[in-house]
Structure 1
């Protein structure tokens, strides 16, 4: 999706019967379209191919012959079984950039195990440090391994394209969610490698800074305060109207404050609970203290800064109608990459892509028949089935 947003012509190859499994994922749907699928597949075209069928595989080869990049997220070894692995494709297209994304890697003790985002969170150590101090390990609210792996793959692909521009050679890229997630531990991993100590769960608090967590206010709303250095500690004390805390020897440095985290959290918490969140935000922000109200999803998606940044885009979907989605988090020369087309229906562009491959006219496309051994889906039958649903 990132590459599509940046302007690539992305053709999503899906199996004819059910398509990408995310089409049926979750419990939130608009018409027959899952929120999961709608969130990840804009700006793409869909072709339905049975890669186990020789004719379907030949169509895939025709696509790969003209492609710059192939991305696959099959179980390790499955692409080779289907005959769509890099070694097969590079004989036809030596400059192909082939990116493989797996759960654990393409070899090793876990290569045959099933893995997805929460499994990786558990295995990588991320889940062990997430949650309240007196509670069980918790899944992160965001699908960090999935999104981080996708963004990392995009970065690697762009680097491979740059390399090919210099030497004309294709590339094989391999990355997995486990490696990406362990990498994302960042300072937490480095701290353990230095001192060998497991990090406890701290809820919303930070293990290396204090006060650095969410605090409740009198209106039952939470605000997050992030005192990352001694300067912000002094500003916080001023905003709290507690000047004596500035020179209290127990809290002079961040190390002092982390060592006395529990007592300091009680002191700050007792002050903040006396007034509503809006009062504290006004006072803290006026003093330059890093802070924010803990927004709900509705508040975050309607936040004035998010709206000002133009992060949300609306595109027309053939069955859902107007579909609002979250755009790519960057601008190029001040312009955010456009959401040009809605997430595709299953096989929506099969006929169109076949005509492009063959160079045939709209009146004379390559035959596409449903229910035979062609390995292709019938777009007209697909549309009829959709109307029936």
Structure 2
């Protein structure tokens, strides 16, 4: 059984939408944990045939929780859809040669190991491009391939720490706070998708592959696009503002009398001017010091303290209703489980379901890239470890006898060849 394609992604069945943007693109994916796997899942959603090559015992994050069963983690299921799994012992020379059979026919190769490990394993760009000069080679590291940290172990929280992301996150005067989701990993995922599609276009023009390098630290620094230039000009450092914004006021949560927070977001002076008629009954806010955003930033404490006193007198929904009438951007602040039920999230089909043969339906975020004429979206559940080993190796030209021999020699785990399908 080849489950990797649903007939159509959830909620999408119109005729003529069977050609996906990345149809015909094959990706060999050696990445594990978060950044690479989620990025290749998103590429799989767009039609790429993603072959996840795992060690004999699997991606380590298959075991990070036991939400479904031992070795069947919810974390893994969340970031490994729309792909096939091959379990291969790369420490054996025959396992390495088998991988090269996949590389020879691949369009993209994704790896997320430290640079020294890549060289030691013979999986560097120069070696693989000699096998396939049209190969797009995508390397994901924590800190980059050169420099003092290049060979150090790296992960999401370290990239958040070193980049300054944790240094600007948290309450005023409080300690550093990690962004709730693994933002460094997932920003890396998005850059992977962006980079691979650009590299495919480059190959269309040149006829040759290229090497794409992504690292988690760079991704976090790139997310400071609105901070770096401002700091360079003013030399005023940014510090945590809680739910607020260091460059905009008022642009933060406020607390209603019912103990619920809501957002008031004056992105520019136009929205502040729309807020002024609303504020007239609560005192004089026509103060020249508040007229421009720069003035409001300078007098943040006084202005926001006055607003806090006002908003503490009525429930959050009361203020949201009035602010919406005034045309001022505002919103309730959802807890995570509330966000999933928000009418706009539902209307956007932001969450979709996949069907697992053992565990039934489970929910994942939909792919945020939507096409009018292509039915993009998650195309299959996260595969079982080695579920497609036999299928994929047959596609490379190996015979069943040769595959059985690899099983006998421990290069393929025999328990996996007969997994689901």
TM > 0.5 fold call: yes
Separation in 1, partners of 2:397, 2:359: 32
Cα deviation, residue 31, structure 1: 2.7
Q: CA deviation at 1:380?
A: 4.8
The range that moved more, 174-183 or 67-76, is 174-183
Which residue of structure 1 lines up, in the alignment, with residue 396 of structure 2? 357
1:160 equivalent in alignment to 2:199: yes
Instruction: Name the CA shift for 1:299/1:23 in 2 (closer, same or farther; >3 Å).
Output: same
Q: CA deviation at 1:13?
A: 0.6
Q: Which residue of 2 aligns with 1:387?
A: none
Deviation at 1:334, TM superposition (A): 6.7
In the TM superposition, residue 373 of structure 1 has moved relative to its aligned partner by 3.6
Q: Give, in angstroms, the shift of residue 369 of structure 1.
A: 5.6
Question: Using a 3 Å threshold, how does the CA distance of structure 1 residues 278 and 243 change in structure 2: closer, same or farther?
Answer: closer
Q: Return 5+ residue gaps in structure 2 as ranges.
A: 1-40
Find the aligned partners of 1:337 and 1:15 in 2 and give their Cα distance. 29
Q: How has the CA–CA distance of structure 1 residues 336 and 265 changed in structure 2, closer, same or farther, with 3 Å as cutoff?
A: farther
Deviation at 1:120, TM superposition (A): 0.7
Asked if the contact 1:350–1:377 (Cα under 8 Å) also holds between the matched residues in 2, the reply is no
The answer (yes or no) to whether the contact 2:135–2:209 under 8 Å persists in 1 is: yes
Aligned residues: 379
How far residue 66 of structure 1 moved from its aligned partner, in angstroms, is 0.5
Please list, as runs of the form range in 1=range in 2, the aligned pairs for 1:172-251 lying within 5 A after superposition: 172-242=211-281, 245-251=284-290
- 1:6-155 equivalences under 5 Å are 6-17=46-57, 19-25=58-64, 27=65, 29-32=67-70, 33-155=72-194
**In the superposition, relative to structure 1, how do residues 248 and 242 fare at CA in structure 2: closer, same or farther (>3 Å)?**
farther
In 2, distance between residues paired with 1:54 and 1:365?
15
Q: TM-score, normalised by structure 2?
A: 0.86
Query: 2:262 aligns to what SS in structure 1?
Result: strand
Which string of whole-angstrom CA distances, capped at 9 and with x for unpartnered residues, describes residues 298-344 of structure 1? Answer: 11111110110111111111332111111111211176622221001
Shift of 1:86: 1.8
Distance 1:28 1:218 in 2: 41
How has the CA–CA distance of structure 1 residues 241 and 275 changed in structure 2, closer, same or farther, with 3 Å as cutoff? farther
Which stretches of structure 1, 4 residues or longer, exceed 3 Å deviation after superposition?
A: 239-246, 379-384
Deviation at 1:246, TM superposition (A): 4.7
- C-alpha separation between the residues in 1 aligned to 2:262 and 2:98? 55
Q: Secondary structure at the match of 1:258?
A: helix
After TM superposition, give the deviation of residue 155 of structure 1 in Å: 1.0
Cα deviation, 1:139-166, whole Å, max 9, x if unaligned, reads 1112221111111121111111101111
Q: Is the 8 A contact 2:114 2:152 kept in 1?
A: no
Give the Cα–Cα distance (whole angstroms) in 2 for the partners of residues 89 and 380 of structure 1: 27
Find the counterpart in structure 1 of residue 411 from structure 2: 375
Which of the numbers 400, 403, 406 marks the counterpart of 1:366?
A: 403
Deviations 1:109-161 (A, max 9, x none): 11121111111111001111111112111111122211111111211111111
Cα distance in 1 between the residues matched to 2:146 and 2:228? 24
In the TM superposition, what is the alpha-carbon distance from 1:365 to its structure 2 partner? Answer: 6.9
How high is the TM-score relative to the length of structure 1? 0.92
Rounded to whole Å, the distance in 2 between the matches of 1:172 and 1:224 is 43
Q: Within 2, Cα distance between the matches of 1:77 and 1:186? A: 31
Secondary structure at 2:191 match in 1 = helix
How far the C-alpha of 1:30 sits from its partner, in A, is 2.3
The answer to whether the aligner puts 1:325 opposite 2:364 as a matched pair is: yes
Whether the 8 Å CA contact 1:368–1:376 is kept in 2: the answer is: no
* Structure 1: distance between partners of 2:317 and 2:376: 35
Residues 173-208 of structure 1 deviation map (CA, whole Å, 9 limit, x = unaligned) = 112111111111111122221122221211111111
d(CA) in 2 for partners of 1:22, 1:238? 54
Match runs of 1:274-289 below 5 Å: 274-289=313-328
Contact 1:235 1:287 in 2 (8 A): yes
Closer, same or farther in 2 for the Cα pair 1:28/1:249, shift >3 Å? farther
C-alpha RMSD of matched pairs (Å): 2.0
| Counterparts of 1:208 and 1:260, CA distance in 2 | 12
